Every structure is written in structure tokens, then in C-alpha cells.
């Protein structure tokens, strides 16, 4: 693992795995020290994510709601690059030119009105950003090369491939580009959701981050994916569609039902990302709920590691058992839930409990997981009934209600049983 000088730390790799690596005498000193460094940064990273979701959940008009609204706009320089690039297909180039002209026209009108109205400059900028975002009718992807630089201030790096451009010689860049497209097509085709924010937000990725960096993460402040190349234990992050689906879903959660990144609501935040990540993987591999393996990060582990994935939704706690990693600690039942101060209240640890409930429901319904269970979970996140500090039982209740609305009483019974079987039970 590469050491890092800023406040971001590992995200795909959960902190309990890092802690096990740091404490295991089976690992070399350099590996243990790298894991300790990542753990020391984990707290500040989680605080940043917690603050972001707190801002998203704050009352309207509050100062804490100043989230980066302009991130929905495709940057002018990116659109210009696409519009002028001869390697980009004609249709995409024409779309980029149209959107670039429209956005610049909106910005020009905004500048003309400066000082003529009572709104603050921030408010006017927000209005202009929203108008420009609505003008973009196409989602644009771009992949950059971080050139093994671990300083996030230097991201995204040098452009490698943009929307409509042919494959590059960089296989990691092609995987990041193609798999981001698969995630976007899943949300568009299955849920009629346009990109991350339902407004065709651009999707930027940087590959080759850091030296032998064994992780990947979604950076919520600069709104982009970041991929390391991996090293001793973990690798192939750009090739793991479920991991990419998981990370990009964190951004979707910001635009549906923001869940505080702490305790049970934080575990639900992680759970929702696993749910949509696994459905995307199953769609790509054309697997029904019954036939799927339900493994998250299945292709991240290097050969020789005693394990099958980072997590198992079918059987939490069984994904790996390696002296260098320890044993997968995720519980599968609420009876094993304990209050903890670590990992923001166990957000990665206890996501296994609702994960198992989703698996139960999907298998009980049969067919593809997104046809019924997935649709119920999606409508739950879109319902406006999920509080920012949602508990497991509150989330379960809404899924039962949505199952009733969408598919009737029998479906509601199936979903309630799925939660009951993991110990998330409605008390009289």
C-alpha cells in the first residue's frame, strides 16, 4: 500500500481489514506500517464524509447546506476537449459542442445580471449552475492518468480517454471508462435515472493513483472516482464492476436519501452501495438471484489469498480467512450488533446484516434481483421517508410498505420475513 499525505484513506478496503493487516505478524513490517498509516487517516476521511451527508440533510437555508452544487455541470474544458477531438465520434462531438455553447450562453446571461438583483453571488452562481446542468442532455465520461502521484490536489491528472473516444493503450483507463458506462446504463435502463444525480452529471475517473496503492474510492468533494493499481494483496479495482457500482452509488445516495455516515444509518449507507453494486454485477454476468455468488470485490484478491472476496452478502463473515488479513468479521444477524466507536460506529462491519436481508428477499422473489427486491429498495431510497439517521427497523418498515405498494401483500410478507430472519424485527 502506498502512504498518503492528505486526509483521504482506503475506502473499498474496510478499516477492520486494515487493522488486521497492521496487527498480523505474518505481514512484513513495511506492509504493517502502511496499514497503520491508512488507519491513522481513516478517522479524518470519515469525518469528511459525515460532514457532507450532514450538510445534505440539514434544513433548507442552513449555512451547512452549501454543498458543491456546480459539480453537476460538465466542465467547459472537458466539453471543449471532446468537441475538438478528432478521435471522438461525430455524434458525441456534436453533442459536446451543443452543450458547450448552451452552458456558455447561460453563464454569459448570468454575468449580465450580476449586481442587478438582491440575491447573493453564491445564490446566483447556484442558479446558473442548475440551469447549466439542466442544459446538458448527455452524460460525459472522462478518464485521467494520475501518473502514480498520491497528492489528491493534483487530480484528476492527464486526460487519457473521453466520451466517444476510441479505446486507449491504457487497459486500466479503458476498464474504468467501460465499467462506469455499465453502471450508468444500469441506472438508466432499470430505474430511468440519468447518471449520478439524474441530471446527466459527468463521471470523471483517475487511474494509477499513488505507488502500488491497494484501493479505490469515490471522492465526494471533487466528485470523481480514484483508482490505485494494487500491489501485494489487492488489485484489479478498475476491473471490478461491483466495486465501481458500490462507489458510484454513494454519490447516488447523496441525491436520493442522504444517510448520516454513522452507526446504523452509516451501515445502511454502505448497505445500499453493496445492494446496487451487486445488482450491477449480476446484470453484467446475467445471473439470477438464486444462481449468483453474491460476492462483493470477488476479483480484487490476489492469487494465494485465502478467501473469495471482500464481502459476502449471502453469508456475511465468510468472505476470507487468511492469517495476513484475519477472518471476515461481518455479522449476519442483529443479535451480534454492538455499539462501537470504531469505523464510525461500525458502518462497514454491520452493513452485512441488511445485506443478508436483501439477499433473503431477492432469493425468495426469484428471477433477477433488480426486478422486485431491487425495485423495492430503489423506491425506498426515492420515497422521502428515510430519515438521515435511519435505523435498521425504520428502513425495513419502509421496504415492507414499498413492497406492498408495488407488488401486493404477499411481497410485503416476503420482505418482512427477510428482515425478521436477520433479527431486524418490529417490536409490539
Three cell numbers, residue 380: 425506498
Indicate whether 16 pLDDT > 80.
no
Q: In this model, does residue 80 exceed pLDDT 70?
A: yes
Residues paired with residue 216 on neighbouring β-strands, in sequence order: 227
221 versus 415: the higher-pLDDT residue is: 415
CB-based contact 102:95 (threshold 8 Å):
no
* pLDDT above 70: residue 102: no
pLDDT score at 67: 45
The pLDDT of residue 238: 93
pLDDT at 34: 67
The better pLDDT of the pair 318, 85 is held by 318
* Averaged confidence pLDDT in the chain: 82
Residue 145 confidence (pLDDT): 96
Structural domains in the chain, CATH included, are: 73-135 (no CATH), 263-420 (1.10.390.10)
Which pLDDT does position 348 carry in this prediction? 92
On whether the CB atoms of residues 278 and 296 are closer than 8 A, the answer is: yes
pLDDT at position 15 is: 72
Query: What is the pLDDT at residue 103?
Result: 60
Q: How far is CA 22 from CA 6, 286, 317, in A?
A: 20, 38, 20
pLDDT at 69: 36
- The tens digit of pLDDT for each residue in 169-203 reads 999 999 999 999 999 999 999 999 999 999 999 99
Catalytic residues: 247, 348
Q: What is the pLDDT of residues 322-360, one digit of tens each?
A: 888 789 999 999 999 999 988 889 999 999 999 999 999
Q: DSSP label at 75?
A: P
- What is d(CA 118, CA 296) in angstroms, rounded to the nearest whole number? 51
Q: pLDDT per residue over 216-256, tens digit each?
A: 888 877 889 999 888 777 788 999 999 999 999 999 999 99
Average pLDDT, integer, range 12-28:
76
Q: Would you say 201 and 133 are in contact if contact means Cβ atoms under 8 Å apart?
A: yes
Q: DSSP labels for 339-403?
A: --STHHHHTTTTTHHHHHHHHHHHHHH-S-TTTTHHHHHHHHHTSS---TT--HHHHHHHHHHHH
**Would you state the pLDDT for residue 390?**
98
What is residue 1's predicted lDDT score, i.e. its pLDDT?
39
Amino acid at each position: 500500500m502506498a502512504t498518503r499525505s492528505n486526509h483521504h484513506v482506503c475506502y473499498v478496503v474496510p478499516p477492520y481489514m486494515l487493522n488486521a493487516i497492521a496487527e498480523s505478524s505474518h505481514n512484513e513490517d513495511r506492509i504493517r506500517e502502511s496499514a497503520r498509516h491508512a488507519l491513522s487517516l481513516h478517522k479524518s476521511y470519515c469525518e469528511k464524509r459525515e460532514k457532507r451527508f450532514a450538510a445534505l440533510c440539514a434544513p433548507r437555508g442552513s449555512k451547512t447546506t452549501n454543498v458543491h452544487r456546480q459539480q453537476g455541470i460538465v466542465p467547459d474544458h472537458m466539453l471543449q476537449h471532446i468537441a475538438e477531438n478528432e478521435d471522438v465520434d461525430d455524434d458525441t462531438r456534436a453533442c459536446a459542442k451543443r452543450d458547450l455553447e448552451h452552458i456558455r450562453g447561460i453563464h454569459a446571461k448570468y454575468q449580465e445580471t450580476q449586481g442587478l438583483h438582491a440575491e447573493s453571488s453564491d445564490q446566483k452562481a447556484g442558479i446558473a449552475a442548475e440551469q447549466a446542468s439542466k442544459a446538458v442532455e448527455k452524460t460525459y465520461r472522462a478518464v485521467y492518468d494520475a501518473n502514480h502521484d498520491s497528492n489528491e490536489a493534483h487530480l484528476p491528472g492527464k486526460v487519457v480517454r473521453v466520451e466517444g473516444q476510441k479505446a486507449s493503450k491504457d487497459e486500466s483507463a479503458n476498464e474504468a471508462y467501460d465499467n462506469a458506462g455499465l453502471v450508468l446504463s444500469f441506472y438508466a435502463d432499470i430505474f430511468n435515472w440519468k447518471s449520478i444525480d439524474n441530471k446527466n452529471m459527468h463521471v470523471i475517473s483517475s487511474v494509477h493513483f499513488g505507488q502500488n496503492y491497494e484501493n479505490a474510492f469515490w471522492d465526494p468533494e471533487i466528485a470523481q472516482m480514484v483508482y490505485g493499481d494494487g500491489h501485494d494483496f489487492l488489485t484489479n479495482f478498475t476491473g471490478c464492476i461491483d466495486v465501481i457500482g458500490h462507489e458510484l452509488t454513494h454519490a447516488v445516495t447523496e441525491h436520493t436519501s442522504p444517510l448520516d455516515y454513522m452507526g446504523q444509518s452509516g451501515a445502511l449507507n454502505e448497505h445500499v452501495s453493496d445492494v446496487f453494486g451487486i445488482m450491477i454485477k449480476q446484470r453484467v454476468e446475467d445471473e439470477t438471484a438464486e444462481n449468483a455468488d453474491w460476492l462483493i470485490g470477488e476479483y480484487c484478491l490476489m492469487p494465494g489469498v485465502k478467501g473469495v472476496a471482500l464481502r459476502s452478502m449471502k453469508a456475511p463473515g465468510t468472505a476470507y480467512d487468511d492469517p495476513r488479513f484475519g477472518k471476515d468479521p461481518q455479522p449476519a444477524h442483529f443479535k451480534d450488533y454492538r455499539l462501537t466507536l470504531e469505523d464510525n460506529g461500525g458502518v462497514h462491519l454491520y452493513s452485512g446484516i441488511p445485506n443478508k436481508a436483501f439477499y433473503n428477499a431477492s432469493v425468495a422473489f426469484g428471477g433477477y434481483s433488480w426486478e422486485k427486491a431491487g425495485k423495492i429498495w430503489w423506491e425506498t431510497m426515492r420515497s422521502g421517508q428515510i430519515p438521515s439517521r435511519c435505523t435498521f427497523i425504520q428502513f425495513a418498515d419502509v421496504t415492507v410498505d414499498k413492497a406492498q405498494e408495488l407488488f401486493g401483500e404477499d411481497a410485503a410478507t416476503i420482505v418482512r420475513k427477510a428482515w425478521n430472519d436477520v433479527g431486524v424485527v418490529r417490536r409490539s
